[in-house]
Amino acid sequence: MGNEGVKGLSVNAKTLIMILLFVNVGFAFKMINKYYAMKEAGYIREKTFRDQLEKRVMKAFGSMDELNKMVNDITRQKEDAEKAAASFQLHDEQLKFANKKLEEAKVNLEEEKARLQKEIWELEDSLSLAKKTLSNKDLTIQELMNNLDILGKEKSALKKELEEHSKTPGAWSLPKQ
Protein backbone atom coordinates (compact mmCIF):
# COMPACT_ATOMS: atom_id res chain seq x y z
CA MET A 1 0.00 0.00 0.00
CA GLY A 2 2.59 2.61 0.85
CA ASN A 3 5.32 0.91 -1.25
CA GLU A 4 4.30 2.38 -4.56
CA GLY A 5 4.86 6.06 -3.62
CA VAL A 6 8.15 5.54 -1.84
CA LYS A 7 9.94 3.11 -4.21
CA GLY A 8 12.90 5.38 -4.72
CA LEU A 9 13.84 5.52 -1.01
CA SER A 10 16.09 3.02 0.64
CA VAL A 11 15.03 0.87 3.55
CA ASN A 12 17.27 2.82 5.93
CA ALA A 13 15.67 6.10 4.86
CA LYS A 14 12.22 4.60 5.33
CA THR A 15 13.19 3.32 8.75
CA LEU A 16 14.62 6.69 9.72
CA ILE A 17 11.46 8.47 8.58
CA MET A 18 9.32 6.05 10.60
CA ILE A 19 11.50 6.54 13.70
CA LEU A 20 11.34 10.33 13.35
CA LEU A 21 7.58 10.11 12.89
CA PHE A 22 7.19 8.03 16.07
CA VAL A 23 9.58 10.37 17.96
CA ASN A 24 7.55 13.40 16.86
CA VAL A 25 4.25 11.75 17.81
CA GLY A 26 5.76 10.66 21.14
CA PHE A 27 7.17 14.14 21.79
CA ALA A 28 3.83 15.77 20.97
CA PHE A 29 2.03 13.30 23.24
CA LYS A 30 4.54 13.97 26.03
CA MET A 31 4.14 17.77 25.64
CA ILE A 32 0.35 17.48 25.68
CA ASN A 33 0.51 15.39 28.88
CA LYS A 34 2.94 17.92 30.37
CA TYR A 35 0.56 20.78 29.47
CA TYR A 36 -2.38 19.08 31.17
CA ALA A 37 -0.21 18.23 34.20
CA MET A 38 0.86 21.86 34.50
CA LYS A 39 -2.71 23.04 34.02
CA GLU A 40 -3.84 20.71 36.79
CA ALA A 41 -0.99 21.84 39.05
CA GLY A 42 -1.92 25.47 38.42
CA TYR A 43 -5.56 24.76 39.18
CA ILE A 44 -4.59 22.94 42.37
CA ARG A 45 -2.21 25.73 43.36
CA GLU A 46 -4.95 28.32 42.69
CA LYS A 47 -7.48 26.20 44.51
CA THR A 48 -5.20 25.82 47.55
CA PHE A 49 -4.57 29.57 47.54
CA ARG A 50 -8.31 30.21 47.47
CA ASP A 51 -8.85 27.66 50.24
CA GLN A 52 -6.12 29.32 52.34
CA LEU A 53 -7.66 32.70 51.71
CA GLU A 54 -11.08 31.40 52.73
CA LYS A 55 -9.58 29.96 55.93
CA ARG A 56 -7.94 33.29 56.74
CA VAL A 57 -11.21 35.11 56.03
CA MET A 58 -13.10 32.70 58.26
CA LYS A 59 -10.61 33.37 61.06
CA ALA A 60 -10.77 37.14 60.57
CA PHE A 61 -14.43 37.73 59.71
CA GLY A 62 -16.32 34.63 60.70
CA SER A 63 -17.87 33.91 57.29
CA MET A 64 -17.61 34.62 53.60
CA ASP A 65 -20.89 36.53 53.74
CA GLU A 66 -19.35 39.09 56.05
CA LEU A 67 -16.37 39.40 53.71
CA ASN A 68 -18.67 39.83 50.72
CA LYS A 69 -20.65 42.43 52.68
CA MET A 70 -17.41 44.25 53.49
CA VAL A 71 -16.25 44.10 49.89
CA ASN A 72 -19.62 45.48 48.75
CA ASP A 73 -19.40 48.28 51.35
CA ILE A 74 -15.87 49.13 50.24
CA THR A 75 -16.98 49.14 46.61
CA ARG A 76 -19.92 51.42 47.45
CA GLN A 77 -17.64 53.73 49.45
CA LYS A 78 -15.21 53.85 46.53
CA GLU A 79 -18.04 54.84 44.17
CA ASP A 80 -19.20 57.50 46.65
CA ALA A 81 -15.63 58.78 46.93
CA GLU A 82 -15.36 58.98 43.14
CA LYS A 83 -18.64 60.95 43.02
CA ALA A 84 -17.37 63.27 45.76
CA ALA A 85 -14.09 63.71 43.89
CA ALA A 86 -15.99 64.65 40.74
CA SER A 87 -18.09 67.08 42.77
CA PHE A 88 -14.95 68.57 44.32
CA GLN A 89 -13.39 68.91 40.91
CA LEU A 90 -16.48 70.78 39.66
CA HIS A 91 -16.44 72.93 42.81
CA ASP A 92 -12.71 73.57 42.28
CA GLU A 93 -13.37 74.78 38.74
CA GLN A 94 -16.12 77.07 40.04
CA LEU A 95 -13.76 78.41 42.71
CA LYS A 96 -11.05 79.04 40.11
CA PHE A 97 -13.57 80.97 38.01
CA ALA A 98 -14.71 82.95 41.06
CA ASN A 99 -11.08 83.66 42.02
CA LYS A 100 -10.40 84.90 38.51
CA LYS A 101 -13.44 87.22 38.75
CA LEU A 102 -12.28 88.42 42.17
CA GLU A 103 -8.79 89.15 40.86
CA GLU A 104 -10.28 91.15 37.98
CA ALA A 105 -12.50 93.04 40.43
CA LYS A 106 -9.49 93.66 42.67
CA VAL A 107 -7.52 95.10 39.74
CA ASN A 108 -10.49 97.29 38.80
CA LEU A 109 -10.84 98.48 42.40
CA GLU A 110 -7.13 99.27 42.57
CA GLU A 111 -7.45 101.32 39.38
CA GLU A 112 -10.51 103.10 40.78
CA LYS A 113 -8.68 103.70 44.06
CA ALA A 114 -5.73 105.23 42.19
CA ARG A 115 -8.09 107.44 40.15
CA LEU A 116 -9.95 108.57 43.26
CA GLN A 117 -6.67 109.23 45.08
CA LYS A 118 -5.57 111.39 42.17
CA GLU A 119 -8.87 113.30 42.36
CA ILE A 120 -8.43 113.72 46.13
CA TRP A 121 -4.93 115.12 45.61
CA GLU A 122 -6.24 117.49 42.94
CA LEU A 123 -9.04 118.62 45.27
CA GLU A 124 -6.56 119.07 48.12
CA ASP A 125 -4.38 121.18 45.83
CA SER A 126 -7.44 123.21 44.82
CA LEU A 127 -8.44 123.61 48.46
CA SER A 128 -4.91 124.66 49.38
CA LEU A 129 -4.91 127.19 46.55
CA ALA A 130 -8.35 128.44 47.64
CA LYS A 131 -7.08 128.78 51.22
CA LYS A 132 -4.10 130.78 50.00
CA THR A 133 -6.38 132.95 47.87
CA LEU A 134 -8.76 133.47 50.82
CA SER A 135 -5.83 134.25 53.07
CA ASN A 136 -4.53 136.77 50.54
CA LYS A 137 -8.03 138.24 50.20
CA ASP A 138 -8.35 138.38 53.99
CA LEU A 139 -5.06 140.25 54.12
CA THR A 140 -6.24 142.55 51.35
CA ILE A 141 -9.56 143.10 53.14
CA GLN A 142 -7.68 143.73 56.39
CA GLU A 143 -5.44 146.20 54.60
CA LEU A 144 -8.47 147.91 53.07
CA MET A 145 -10.17 148.04 56.47
CA ASN A 146 -7.04 149.58 57.98
CA ASN A 147 -6.90 152.07 55.12
CA LEU A 148 -10.60 152.77 55.62
CA ASP A 149 -10.03 153.35 59.34
CA ILE A 150 -7.09 155.64 58.54
CA LEU A 151 -9.23 157.46 55.97
CA GLY A 152 -12.07 157.69 58.48
CA LYS A 153 -9.73 159.21 61.04
CA GLU A 154 -8.31 161.59 58.47
CA LYS A 155 -11.85 162.50 57.37
CA SER A 156 -12.93 163.19 60.93
CA ALA A 157 -9.76 165.19 61.49
CA LEU A 158 -10.45 167.16 58.33
CA LYS A 159 -14.07 167.69 59.38
CA LYS A 160 -12.93 169.00 62.72
CA GLU A 161 -10.48 171.28 61.05
CA LEU A 162 -13.11 172.40 58.57
CA GLU A 163 -15.53 173.05 61.38
CA GLU A 164 -12.92 175.07 63.19
CA HIS A 165 -12.19 177.10 60.10
CA SER A 166 -15.84 177.58 59.40
CA LYS A 167 -16.28 179.08 62.86
CA THR A 168 -13.69 181.64 62.06
CA PRO A 169 -14.46 182.88 58.55
CA GLY A 170 -11.66 185.41 58.30
CA ALA A 171 -8.91 183.03 58.99
CA TRP A 172 -9.76 180.37 56.49
CA SER A 173 -6.91 178.48 54.86
CA LEU A 174 -6.19 175.19 53.22
CA PRO A 175 -5.36 172.27 55.43
CA LYS A 176 -1.71 171.38 55.70
CA GLN A 177 -0.48 168.14 54.80
Intra-chain end-to-end CA distance of the chain, in Å: 177
- At 74-112, the pLDDT tens digits run 899 999 999 999 999 999 999 999 999 999 999 999 999
**pLDDT for position 145:** 92
Question: Are residues 165 and 171 in contact, defined by beta-carbon separation less than 8 angstroms?
Answer: yes
Q: What's the 3-state SS for 57-96?
A: HHHHHCCHHHHHHHHHHHHHHHHHHHHHHHHHHHHHHHHH
Give me the residues of the chain with pLDDT under 70, please: 1-7, 43, 45, 61-62, 168-177
**If you ran DSSP here, which 8-state letter would residue 175 be given?**
P
**pLDDT for position 73:** 85
**pLDDT for position 173:** 59
**pLDDT for position 26:** 87
Q: How far is CA 33 from CA 27, 28, 39, 43, in A?
A: 10, 9, 10, 15
**pLDDT for position 36:** 84
Query: Nearest CA to 144 among 152, 175, 21, 30?
Result: 152
